[in-house]
Chains A and B, each alone.
Chain A
């Protein structure tokens, strides 16, 4: 049973990371205001939210199963307070930091109509910090973290996220960028 929990903890962590990568990519696309081929803009926004919630669900399963198993030696404090862990405290602490950031981002996102656009946006910027922190946690803390296939997955994910970021800061990022640059012509 313990072994099963431990294995499940690892797999759910990897699934969660892949889904968060997808969340960032679709988030950037939503921010651009562009539809995705035949998928309209409002659906892109909904897809972004739903992948984020799914990723969060796997993250909760990841933390929950490792909390219950005896290999990882996690306790309830480690779930919220970083860098106190028994096993590789630095790398595990990065996971805790990412978890706390995800909680803050998801809660402010779901309540964004109540808290207003400023707070929502300010907290949402932390997603760009959270993703590399989560990736570093996976590589440094995971049993599979330094195996070849995982490093390939990590490198591929990092490449697409960096690509999305480069697009995000480029001049023609917004769907309406060209018209708006053109002034009143």
Chain B
């Protein structure tokens, strides 16, 4: 089982805190918005988070100034 980090792009303002905290999981586009480096079912707003990155992901959820991130326990492979 792994966790999924969900980016709510309607809330996100591309401030880049999450891309600093999770550089191996997220890319930052030219406008500052985060994108999953590896898409989950073609969707770059959901990011699979392995236990090694769980702590950093939690920090990103907590520190995002727009409260645009959420972390859910999810069985990998199934959609939202």
Q: Does A179 contact B (CB under 8 A)?
A: yes
Q: Is chain B's interface secondary structure helix, strand, loop, or mixed overall?
A: loop
Tell me the minimal C-beta distance from A33 to chain B in angstroms. Answer: 4
Output the residue of B13, B17, B31 with the most chain A CB within 10 A. Answer: B17
Q: Is chain A's interface secondary structure helix, strand, loop, or mixed overall?
A: helix
Chain B residues with a Cβ under 8 A of chain A: 11, 13-17, 20-21, 30-32, 59-60, 62-63, 65-67
Interface size on A, residues (CB 8 A): 18
Query: How many Å lie between the Cα of A117 and that of B13 in the bound state?
Result: 12
Q: Does A175 contact B (CB under 8 A)?
A: yes
Given contacts A117-B66, A175-B32, contact A42 B20 (CB under 8 A): yes
Given contacts A42-B21, A176-B31, A176-B32, contact A33 B63 (CB under 8 A): no
Residues from chain B with a CB closer than 8 A to the CB of A180 are: 31
Tell me the minimal C-beta distance from A28 to chain B in angstroms. Answer: 13
Chain A residues with a Cβ under 8 A of chain B: 30-31, 33, 35, 40-42, 45-46, 112-113, 116-117, 120, 175-176, 179-180
List 8 A-B residue pairs with CB atoms under 8 Å apart, sorted by A's residue number: A30-B65, A42-B59, A46-B63, A112-B67, A117-B11, A117-B67, A120-B67, A180-B31
Nearest CB in chain B to that of A43: its residue? B20
Output the residue of B13, B15, B30 with the most chain A CB within 10 A. Answer: B15
In the complex, the answer to whether B30 meets A41 with C-beta atoms within 8 Å is no
Nearest CB in chain A to that of B30: its residue? A179
